[in-house]
Amino acid sequence: MSLTLAHLWALLALPLPLLVIRLLPPAPVTEGATLHAPLLLDLVPIMQQQHQPPPLLRWLALLAWGLLVLAAARPQWVGEPIVLPVTGRDLMLAVDLSGSMSEQDMVVGVRVVDRLTAVKAVAGDFISQRSGDRIGLILFGSQAYLQAPLTFDRDTVRRLLFESVVGLAGNETAIGDAIGLAVKHLRAQSMSDQSVLILLTDGVNNAGMLTPERATELAAQAGIRVYTIAFGGEPRGPFAMGLGGHPIDEASLKAIADATGGRYFRARNLHELQTIYAAMDELEPLEADTRQLRPTTELFAWPLAAALFVSLVLAARAGNLFVGFFASQHQKTGS
């Protein structure tokens, strides 16, 4: 631990008052005032003596100046280095909120729940375990929205996921737009060469401005790996389809993953989804790099407060001089 000055160069201003006193001539006292005021004329000797103030006032003034300069230099108390693990990964989650995510074909504990509830349970734990990673969240349906930019604040991302509801972004599925939005923000914000998009959907692209094929090209050009998860229970019959009349487009999701160097997963239940997220820890292993952080406490407020106190003492002392003078004058006139 050590005491340092963030702006050490500010100390060059310390001798400035001495240079001003030595180099600049004293201000002349103007004589021949238009109005004749005997009392004010009696103040002239005091004004002339201000160029030679009492030693105590002179030292207090220099002390106040020194404290101001010290505050401007920003003294800081720097603590011992704290080693932080750094993974170097930027992860973006894209979660489908289309109408079919309300299909109740998942079991959490002993309860039958809809698909989105199951995703929240598993993805929420996945987010909580991303210590050292920056993570973002995209929610998509008929349109795609950036709900959380890349951040180390996992609690906020998790809360935003839990607050999402089916149909919030529309009831259709814009997979291409979700990938395109993720590519845009990962390219703009990512500080890592290990940018990853995890896209979870239970349908087929049937909305949006960008096709999945074009969005996949953009992701591959940007070096962003896309891991796709097809989520949903097995069809209840040979001709059964999801809500809205669309099955899961597994072929398209496989193509997206293959073209970007990612991987395709199929989750038919909660356990398989948990297994997939656990497998991603192995696919995207933690880096061994570390980063050191030294906690810093700013101390400039202390010399600044001391300078204010000394200035008040100076003002009070100067005021006492004038009060004493006027009191003496009053005694003379009264006698």
Does residue 61 fall inside a structural domain? no
Report the chain's terminal Cα–Cα distance, integer Å. 67
114 vs 30: which has the higher pLDDT: 114
Mean pLDDT for all residues in the chain: 80
Residue-level pLDDT at 287: 53
Residue-level pLDDT at 283: 61
Residue-level pLDDT at 65: 92
Same domain, 311 and 172: no
What is the maximal distance between C-alpha atoms in the chain?
Answer: 121
Same domain, 283 and 329: no
CA 38 and chain centroid, separation: 66
Q: Nearest-CA neighbor of 137 among 225, 260, 127? A: 127
The residue type at 109: G
Q: For helices 16-23 and 55-72, give the axis angle rounded to 10 degrees.
A: 130
Does residue 69 fall inside a structural domain? no
Does residue 99 fall inside a structural domain? yes
205-243 tens-digit pLDDT: 888 899 999 999 999 999 999 999 988 765 544 433 444
Number of domains, the chain? 2
Q: By the 8 A CB rule, do 162 and 192 touch?
A: no
Does residue 163 fall inside a structural domain? yes
State how far the Cα of 312 lies from the Cα of 328, in Å rounded to an integer: 24
Q: By the 8 A CB rule, do 117 and 279 touch?
A: no
106-120 tens-digit pLDDT: 777 778 888 888 888
Q: In the structure, what pLDDT confidence band is assigned to residue 53 with cuts at 50, 70 and 90? A: low
Q: By the 8 A CB rule, do 292 and 81 touch?
A: yes
User: Token digits for 240?
Assistant: 């059964």
Length reported for the chain: 335
pLDDT at residue 122 is higher than 80: yes
Same domain, 329 and 190: no
Q: By the 8 A CB rule, do 257 and 263 touch?
A: yes
State how far the Cα of 287 lies from the Cα of 285, in Å rounded to an integer: 6
Does residue 21 fall inside a structural domain? no
pLDDT at residue 332 is higher than 70: no
pLDDT at residue 159 is higher than 90: yes
Residue-level pLDDT at 237: 43
Residue-level pLDDT at 108: 73
The pTM assigned to this predicted structure is 0.59
User: Token digits for 321?
Assistant: 């001089």
User: For the residues of 148-186, what is the DSSP string, one character each?
Assistant: EEEES-HHHHHHHHHH--TTTT-SS--HHHHHHHHHHHH
In this structure, of 54-63, 249-258, 264-273, 316-325, the range with the lowest mean pLDDT score is: 316-325
Residue-level pLDDT at 327: 58
Residue-level pLDDT at 334: 56
293 vs 23: which has the higher pLDDT: 23
Residues of the chain above pLDDT 70, percent: 75
265-274 tens-digit pLDDT: 888 777 888 8
State how far the Cα of 101 lies from the Cα of 89, in Å rounded to an integer: 29
Same domain, 190 and 319: no
CA 329 and chain centroid, separation: 64
Find the Cα–Cα–Cα–Cα dihedral 33, 35, 37, 38, rounded to 10°. 60
Does residue 56 fall inside a structural domain? no
The neighbouring-strand residues paired with 201 are: 230
Residue-level pLDDT at 288: 47
Q: Residue 181 maps to which CATH number?
A: 3.40.50.410
User: Can you give the residue range of the structural domain that contains 318?
Assistant: 301-335
**Average pLDDT over every residue of 151-172:** 90
Q: In the structure, what pLDDT confidence band is assigned to residue 3 with cuts at 50, 70 and 90? A: confident
Does residue 53 fall inside a structural domain? no
80 vs 330: which has the higher pLDDT: 80
Residue-level pLDDT at 244: 43
Q: In the structure, what pLDDT confidence band is assigned to residue 156 with cuts at 50, 70 and 90? A: very high
Does residue 42 fall inside a structural domain? no
Same domain, 229 and 280: yes
**Average pLDDT over every residue of 186-194:** 78
pLDDT at residue 13 is higher than 60: yes
**Average pLDDT over every residue of 313-323:** 71
